[in-house]
Structure 1
Amino acid sequence: MTPLRHALVTGGGSGVGRAIALALADDGIDVTICGRREAQLAAVKAESDRIHGIVADVTDEESVAALYEKSETARGPFDIVVANAGMAGSAPAHKVSLVDWQQTLAVNLTGAFLTVKPALAGMAKRKQGRIIFVASTAGLKGYAYVAPYVAAKHGVVGLMRALAAENARTGVTVNAVCPGFVETDMLDESVQRIVEKTGRSEEEARKSLAATNPQNRFIQPDEVAAAVLWLCSDAARSITGQAISVSGGETW
């Protein structure tokens, strides 16, 4: 297998995306990260000479196409694509507006599809590649008050399985990593919503979320990054179509 040399990580300016980008860079891979906040991308880029940042919106097909053209012209085709960009809100289903529903699906599901679509033909032609979706345990089970997010992440897992079936004979593997609650800014936002809507303290809110993990703790970004790094290795060349739960046993 020819060494994998160039990776794309969406949502790479913070949290899980940042951890994945740094892990890949430490492994000797050039990494292009994208997101909508230039300052965040620049901060991650400053941590490694192998990381390059480009502002892009994964919900906009033209923006993604421009990202591919600029990055692949400079550093060669993507051998690894990690569709990590995501967002989540919280509300009872009967209070979810159509705008909120569509935005959640646009970022988490349509954005994931638009992220990987431009890479598929080239990877298949070269007979190698790694496509990895950062989904969620919300793609494997239901959670109350986040119906759009759960629907989107179930869609991501279904998309992954369809692409894995299509590419099984090409040398391209397609998988999803499904973490539980991860210690990131998105978790902090979830905690604040609980505090605001229930009147519970921040400590109580964090404790309630951590309790969903049988290990009674939050997943760390580097744990998700380690799973992605393994899926990119030659040792994982037979692993495809899998939704790997990183959740302390919450689900599988």
Structure 2
Amino acid sequence: MSMAMDGRHALVTGGGRGIGAAIALRLVAEGWRVTVLGRSLESVRAMAARHPERLHAVTADVADAVQVGYALTDAQARFGPVQALINNAGQAESAPFLKTDADLWQRMLAVNLTGVMVCTQAVLPGMLDGGWGRIVNVASTAGLAGYAYVTAYCAAKHGVIGLTRALALELATKGVTVNAVCPGYTDTDIVRTGVARVVAKTGRDPQDVRAEFMKTNPQGRLVTPEEVADAAAWLCGEGAGALTGLSLPICGGEVM
């Protein structure tokens, strides 16, 4: 356990499973107390039960400022001010651009981009009052490059990168850093759902479809949630204080 981080409070959105759960567990191992936020209270409660003294569960739609405010009040009543925010909540849907209707577009912007803004605005005043903070946005290689058939998702994730860079400059002298991690295809429910959708539409063998996802990574594999968690935890640490505005690809060399 890192004594420097012992007792500090991190909030991880989308913390009930996948990358968010891996980040929460890694931060607990580093000494943090962690609030996991998700839309499914059952999911985050199950997660929090793994380390009841160090993990706390709250629920909210990250794009709803009122819900996030209530969740933050709950979190701070348990563990005190939030010193680190990991904006991990996200969702991916695919469609050809001409079949991307306004509802799909808004869903992608709401959870992937607006949620980052809402949660950051909620915790930032406390970080500024304390003179120290870490904001880590879980973006995607889709925030650094284009991918066909996911225009809305790419637009949202590019927006996250822009927000990260602009806010990093705004807060550069305030003791608060703002960075992004950009995973490639990662072994999570999002990829498994993507594989299932391709199989349903094409009738192809699931292993062949999974192999196509893996081919985008020069290492020929999927990224693990734990690899993303390692990077996020590092950016939350004292030693990363000179890093801000960074967009770190975690993708085996797919994007450089």
For the criterion TM > 0.5, the same-fold answer is: yes
Q: What is the distance in 1 between the residues matched to 2:243 and 2:132?
A: 13
1:85–1:218 Cα change, 3 Å = same
The equivalent of 1:19 in structure 2 is 22
Q: Is the 8 A contact 2:6 2:32 kept in 1?
A: no
Pairing partner for 2:131 from 127, 130, 143: 127
Structure 1 residue 122 displacement after superposition: 2.1
Choose 60-69 or 122-131, whichever is displaced more: 122-131
Q: What is the distance in 1 between the residues matched to 2:224 and 2:88?
A: 15
Taking structure 2 as the reference length, the TM-score comes to: 0.96
1:233–1:245 Cα change, 3 Å = same
Structure 1 residue 125 displacement after superposition: 2.5
Identity of aligned residues (%): 48
Structure 1 residue 198 displacement after superposition: 2.2
The equivalent of 1:45 in structure 2 is 48
Structure 1 residue 38 displacement after superposition: 1.6
Pairing partner for 1:190 from 187, 194, 202: 194
Q: For 1:182-207, what per-residue CA distance to the aligned partner results, in whole angstroms no more than 9, with x for missing partners?
A: 10111100001111122211011100
The equivalent of 2:234 in structure 1 is 230
SS in 1 for 2:228: helix
SS in 2 for 1:39: helix
Q: Is the 8 A contact 1:81 1:131 kept in 2?
A: yes
Pairing partner for 2:115 from 105, 111, 114: 111
Q: Is the 8 A contact 2:6 2:31 kept in 1?
A: no
Structure 1 residue 4 displacement after superposition: 6.5
1:4–1:48 Cα change, 3 Å = closer
SS in 1 for 2:161: helix
Q: Does 1:166 align with 2:170?
A: yes
The equivalent of 2:32 in structure 1 is 29
Q: For 1:99-135, what per-residue CA distance to the aligned partner results, in whole angstroms no more than 9, with x for missing partners?
A: 0110110010001111111122221222110000000
Choose 66-75 or 85-94, whichever is displaced more: 66-75
Residue ranges of structure 1 left out of the alignment (5+ in a row): none
- List structure 1 segments (4+ residues) > 2 angstroms apart after TM superposition: 1-4
Q: What is the distance in 2 between the residues matched to 1:198 and 1:144?
A: 17
Q: Is the 8 A contact 2:199 2:206 kept in 1?
A: yes
Structure 1 residue 74 displacement after superposition: 2.4
Q: For 1:222-242, what per-residue CA distance to the aligned partner results, in whole angstroms no more than 9, with x for missing partners?
A: 000000111011111100000
Choose 131-140 or 3-12, whichever is displaced more: 3-12
Amino acid at match of 1:48: H
Matches of residues 48-67 of structure 1 in structure 2 within 5 Å?
A: 48-49=51-52, 50-67=54-71
The equivalent of 1:241 in structure 2 is 245
Give the alignment's Cα RMSD to 1 decimal.
1.2
Q: What is the distance in 1 between the residues matched to 2:178 and 2:208?
A: 38
Q: For 1:146-173, what per-residue CA distance to the aligned partner results, in whole angstroms no more than 9, with x for missing partners?
A: 0000000000000011110000001110
Amino acid at match of 1:33: V
Taking structure 1 as the reference length, the TM-score comes to: 0.97
> How many residue pairs end up in the alignment?
252
